[in-house]
Structure formats: structure tokens, C-alpha cells
Amino acid sequence: MNDLIRVVRPGDEAELTAMIHELAEFEDAAADCTVTETQLREALFGPHPVVYGHLAEVDGEVAAAALWFRNFSTWDGVAGIYLEDLFVRPRFRRRGLARTLLATLARECVDHGYSRLSWAVLDWNVDAIALYDSVGGRPQSDWITYRVSGSELSALARES
């Protein structure tokens, strides 16, 4: 079998959108996933891209994807990468594709002088946690992740 890691390119939106929906299903949140190919195309390839990605192909078939964006460390004074989604389709798991995608993003950080690669993981995803531990990832237990969205986001925006 021939494995290839490559940067996403126009035309990959259908596969990426499908994989995002597959990931949402895996995370028991399919009803919350509303992304469309059009939205993803604009986010990746529009005049002001806000997300980037890499795909893993096995014998020409899309097997895994990593979608990420740049963030900024005010303390370090340089950018970093935040890995939004890393998903390997079930039949391609245990081939090292997720680790290779993480290594690709680490190379992206090193090549561009970025100071960190960050991500979040669901506390029940023991396989992903084991992978992240094995590559030297460390849980940031002193930070609590917050989010405001939906009607609460709209209500907060009305205060401005």
C-alpha cells in the first residue's frame, strides 16, 4: 500500500466535508454538524483563508485529514498551530496516519518558527489520548476551555 500526506487543494471539499460529518458522528454530535462544502471551500481557498489542511491518502483514497489554523502566543510573540480536527477513517486506523499527520504539522511549526502545536481531545477518546501522550503531548490541566455560541453569543454581542 502507498501512503501519501499532502496539503489540501481545491476539489478536496467533498471528501473533507464528508470526513467532518463522519467525525461528528464518531463524537456522537452529528446533529450539531452543519458545515457544507461551500463553507469549507470558502474557509480553505477563499480570498482570506481561515483554515488549512493536510490529507493522508492510501492508494489514492482519502484516509485521514488534519484541519488547523494559526494562533498566536502573546507570551512567545510568535504564531503556533491549533489542530481543530484530526480524523482517520476507521478502516485506515492503526497504520500510523494520525502520527504522521501530527509530525507533518510539527514540521510546519518548525519550518515557520512557530512555537507550539496545540489541540483538544474528548476525555473519553482513550485511543487518541494514548497517541497524543506517545508523541510528547501534555494535557494542560491548569486551563479550562470555555466557549460561547448560539443564542448566548448573540446575547453577548448585543451588549456591545
- This prediction has a pTM of 0.94
Q: Specify the 3-state DSSP secondary structure of 75.
A: coil
Task: Write down the domain spans for the chain.
Answer: 3-158
- Give burial (CB, 10 Å; 0-12/13-18/19+) of 21: middle
Tens of pLDDT, residue by residue, the chain (160 residues): 689 999 999 999 999 999 999 999 999 999 999 999 999 999 999 999 999 999 999 999 999 999 999 999 999 999 999 999 999 999 999 999 999 999 999 999 999 999 999 999 999 999 999 999 999 999 999 988 899 999 999 999 999 9
Alpha carbons within 13 A on the beta-carbon side of 85: 23
Q: Does domain 3-158 have CATH number 1.10.240.10?
A: no
